[in-house]
Structure 1
Amino acid sequence: MTLYDWPRAAAFGRVIPKNKIYEHAGANTQLKDLFVREVDQIVWSHKLAPETVNLPATKQVAEVQVFRITLRTATPDMLVLRSIDKAIPFPLIFELVHGGRIRTAGAYKKAGGADGTRWMVREYFQSAWQLEDTAREPLPVALTMGALYERLLEPLVAGRTAQLVPGYGEKAQTGFAGPEPEARVTLEERIAQTEAIERQTREVARIKARLGREKQFNRRVGINAELRAAKQELARLTAGGRVAQTDE
């Protein structure tokens, strides 16, 4: 998984007190305790904007902020990231640091609602842990801020799906999730597809567990039919089957 060499011009380097996140996220006592247990420091490290990366803003993405979170645990509750996303009205990319290692995380975030001020945040995706001194690479090529944001998230989404579907990562690098170029999908569609694959994988596992517990032959026949149908649906999704989009 790539670590990016954020442009020097985009450096921001501002430490964010936890109480500022609490104020903007409407944190309760439970959330505050979670931050105390799991978060050591929050740094607003870089501000990717038209004036810092020389890319034009789009309607959905004016800027992308990079937050570096020094953690006290290697397995933070995603509610921590969601609370920071709630407090900051821009798309975010997180760099999570713990014990000399680093990983990238992010959720697809877009403005919604009638006035475009309500931010919708989808599921979080994370890279594998790497050594903190791993060599960094230049930002991916993009023509707009919106495209840059998608290029930064795409490897995280592809990495999650590749864990479920061997070889999926290679297909995702070409910009489509199916055997033919006509199957090209947007990032939102790819995320929906990944989420659907995860749900269907859990459903196959659930039916298999039922089958393993069932002793009566006639009931096993019925469960086997369910299992075949569930496997067929999973095969359709992993082959690039489209998933209906819904606003959350």
Structure 2
Amino acid sequence: MTASGTLYDWPRAAAFGRVIPKNKIYEHAGANTALKDLFVREVDQIVWLHKLAPETVNLAATKQVAEIQVFRITARTATLDAQVLRAIDKAIPFPLIFEVVHGDRVRLAAAYKRPSEADSARWVVGDYFQGEWQPEDAPRAPLPVALNMGALYERLLEPLVAGQTAKLVSGMVEAPQPPAESEKPVSLEERIARAEAIKAQARGVERIKARLAREKQFNKRVAINAELRAAQQELERLTGAYPRAAMTNE
């Protein structure tokens, strides 16, 4: 099992097991008609599965992470729109880890979620990272070792960020590795920022390629080719500087 596909054996003491009606999510997320339709098409059931809190996992709360909630979404489609996850994140004022289930498979998904520096009552939610699909009956690992709730949250997110970014990078460019002696500790926030930058730059490269494929005029193709080379070089710079642990999914 790869690290990005790890499923966790959530502590029994943290079990919550409450089914959440979709209309409660709509209410707290301010859902419009399009979002409600998306839930109807893609979501069968939402269960608030576990509450990882100081009293259930014996770890001290931190300023940013008092509790971590685990939600299990039974999906009607193999691909779950990120808007569904974002709506639930908007409705629940805690960091969330999702178990997405479809058929006999399950995988983790999460976005880095933190209180806003401008308004601590608001939450900032980043891009979503997803693990690999695993059989429902796959072996589960114990929770990562951590000193407090904040560290536990980071340890749960790290393999998702590393695995998805490594997969993206391997499909785009052959990224050089920095020499071992130049490696420095990299925070989760830095890794996520780099991962999001790589994702955005990769999309940009694909858009330029699409423009190039449509363009027939020679002079314009020359200009677009130059733009494409510059965009690819920037992507290579980003991926080449990506931390080795994230690239190799260690």
1:142 pairs with 2:146: yes
Aligned to 1:60: 64
TM-score, normalised to structure 1, is 0.85
1:21-170 equivalences in 2 (<5 Å):
21-166=25-170
Distance 1:60 1:130 in 2: 30
Distance 1:238 1:153 in 2: 20
Aligned to 2:174: none
- Cα offset for 1:189? 1.5
Decide which moves more: 40-49 or 16-25: 16-25
Distance 1:166 1:28 in 2: 38
Aligned to 2:233: 232
Change (3 A) 1:30 1:183: same
Alpha carbons 1:183, 1:240 under 8 Å: kept: no
Aligned to 1:190: 191
Distance 2:128 2:39 in 1: 18
Distance 1:96 1:15 in 2: 15
Aligned to 2:23: 19
Distance 1:24 1:215 in 2: 50
> Partner of 2:108: helix, strand, or coil?
strand
Structure 2: runs of 5 or more not aligned: 172-176, 244-250
Structure 1: runs of 5 or more not aligned: 168-176, 243-248
TM-score, normalised to structure 2, is 0.85
Distance 2:102 2:16 in 1: 21
Alpha carbons 1:18, 1:42 under 8 Å: kept: yes
Select which of 2, 8, 13 maps to 2:6: 2
Change (3 A) 1:144 1:78: same
> Partner of 2:9: helix, strand, or coil?
coil
Decide which moves more: 10-19 or 197-206: 197-206
Specify which structure has the bigger relative contact order, considering alpha-carbon pairs within 8 angstroms and separated by 6 or more residues: 2
Alpha carbons 1:49, 1:55 under 8 Å: kept: yes
Distance 2:226 2:38 in 1: 44
- Cα offset for 1:182? 4.0
Change (3 A) 1:200 1:29: closer
- Cα offset for 1:123? 1.0
Distance 2:41 2:210 in 1: 36
Amino acid across the alignment from 2:207:
R
- Cα offset for 1:203? 2.5
Amino acid across the alignment from 1:229:
A
> Partner of 1:166: helix, strand, or coil?
helix
Distance 1:61 1:161 in 2: 24
> Partner of 1:104: helix, strand, or coil?
strand
- Cα offset for 1:144? 1.3
> Partner of 2:137: helix, strand, or coil?
coil
1:205 pairs with 2:209: no
Decide which moves more: 85-94 or 206-215: 206-215
Alpha carbons 1:40, 1:72 under 8 Å: kept: yes
Aligned to 2:248: none
Alpha carbons 1:179, 1:239 under 8 Å: kept: no
> Partner of 1:236: helix, strand, or coil?
helix
Change (3 A) 1:210 1:16: closer
- Cα offset for 1:186? 1.6
- Cα offset for 1:37? 2.1
Decide which moves more: 218-227 or 141-150: 218-227
Amino acid across the alignment from 1:112:
S
Percent identity between the two aligned chains: 76
